[in-house]
A and B are shown apart, each in its own frame.
Chain A
């Protein structure tokens, strides 16, 4: 976890900062208050050049009679709340979205962070474990091969920290050109081409095979443009090479290696998310040309050759990317002491652990049972689980006994108990249809009691068939004797649209007549009306008079049944993750026992190994977000590069406010020219003058190939 600790001691003149002094500014300080530090250097002309130092949150302060101390730290210090929102995502969730969710949960404003869009392409399925927000961010950063830090303006930055995979291509290349090979760093072969003064006679070039369709093999060339420069070096159509990167990439320089004749001018067009970021022209190219330029962050870089070598094609063998630096820590110049080097323990093998989540084959079990106090204003309660769980359900274990008054309401085995009913064996339901436009209905008689409230519900579907529907449908309860229609479910065409899909419809009412009622599915329409799962419940008999639930409650909490104990009170999960469930209770107040059931995920582990050294220790790296083999292998390579750097340096030097942790620099060394180090710890002190110490690690990763290319430029 990157940290910035900041401490300032000032003169407590006239005891202005005495904590007992009511007029002191000390009384206006608040924990978490923003502290911004700027470094200023007085120039010879009397002006002061300022550079931003850091932006931190005030942590503590204290004063004695002579001095006042302020301590501040970065924003990660305060992000110690717990993140419970981890969720298993079988289809994958991007690390970007996960980071946004963590930051939102930590109540960080979206303007106060930047996340590398590359992370939108890295999907993980595993839930984030229950950890502090800052640790969650660190896990995301690690899984995405990113670094996490707070920049000098106080913004949280989550940024990829590897040379992303790149691809090069061109729509202006010869049949034997390999634009894609310019990124492979390999030495290229040269064909004998007719370009002016291009082909030598020393035997170092090769005969070009003719263009055929039978799969001729060609030597490993780089990019060779289709366009040939005219006598004046200009092209009719400027050749271009396009490089796309897997992730946004910040580059401080690159090296172009051309073939025997090199063009004169190239224009770099940098794009990010398809927005043009910069056009940078480099004239006066040479065969090996180092472009020492801080490019803006890009995910697409187009090289346009605007002026070539007269009467020649553009032959580009390689483009070498990589961080580069011109900052050198030299004896007697920067260093105030000789560097102290430490050989760290070698790592023989790195094992990246993959955690694989599987669904449980066991039945759901009780995950939580607790009596909570419910009020009308506070009817929600959150349960936390120790293991990642799914298939969560909740209920209040108080039941009422109820019976479905509809006989054979599910039509599983036929239409027994119904008059006039037609049976659809495939759908296991009944249907009704009018052949001639006259009303038709199927019917069953039920016994109802005056003053009781009843809940009627069913699933309905209109036949999906050609032609317009004509007619009307209804499901109703009719007091046959008095022929009084008490209540009904409206099944007009628009109420159960679209056709071919089941629709659940319900109604609730209090009846006024005791006796036999007809439950009817009625139509005079020309298309079949399918009916299933009919339910009629005497709510008054089950809940008691005056306590009957309303129709919304019934729709939500009563499933289809014949005879059942159904929960008396409504209780549902309104928010959940793999580690918590927030339940909401309706229709109840006071102490209430609530149960949450679910299943635990079954987790297994597997490992991806990378051999680093013939001898040394075995290290295991466990990031619980990692489950995929390719993902684990990428991570093993990335961490392996770091672990291969088994030398650490302690340096004392003159102090440089521009240096941050994770910067790279060259260190003067008798045995290794261009010894590259990566700063891991930087302490800067000012007491009338600057002084500083650095802890750094020898960088053996991809940047180890970066030479001090900027030196002497």
Chain B
């Protein structure tokens, strides 16, 4: 189920401006890859291009290839909606649907697409997703209460449950813990380590310690200069990147000399 991603010479443009330049990397299935780097260096832009969410911004376009298990996401006749059904996303601020109950939120990926399913099947999927997101015990008695009645950390785990309910091959996470307190953050980091067994996970994070704790592979992005596009500077095994990076800029960032 979890798939590998191969990015080849990806350039991301907003209109005529080049935002991210020449990114090439491979992401192994069933692994966690962390994208780190200073603000504005293109990590989130790159992440969003992996499930074609950057297209929501007018005039955003891409040159290059993103291959998921051999299929190019940017081939001419590819439907972005179909791409997103296989590559899910969790956002920085928890965004459960306010008009829906917890149950409906988790089932949203299925219900909103009007897929016909027996209630018992749906119940099973909701329970399984909430269990995988480590939220089942906390909400199993109030599945019909609104999704916004939970704490921030619980809401984020609800959003994760919502994303995994549709069994995507890849899970993209855009700074999922930056709006949360340390205890919720730890719960979600533990969750990521568990989810690794079934999903390919790519996580953008500003928190280098989090990247070190959670990921197998780390990719360091940086701007070439002020007003220049972002670039992939170095990618490698997390332990190596944090102890003996090959690139001077990586080392400077990791030791806090800038960023």
To the question of whether A and B form a pair in one complex, the answer is no
A interface residues (Cβ-Cβ under 8 A, vs B): none
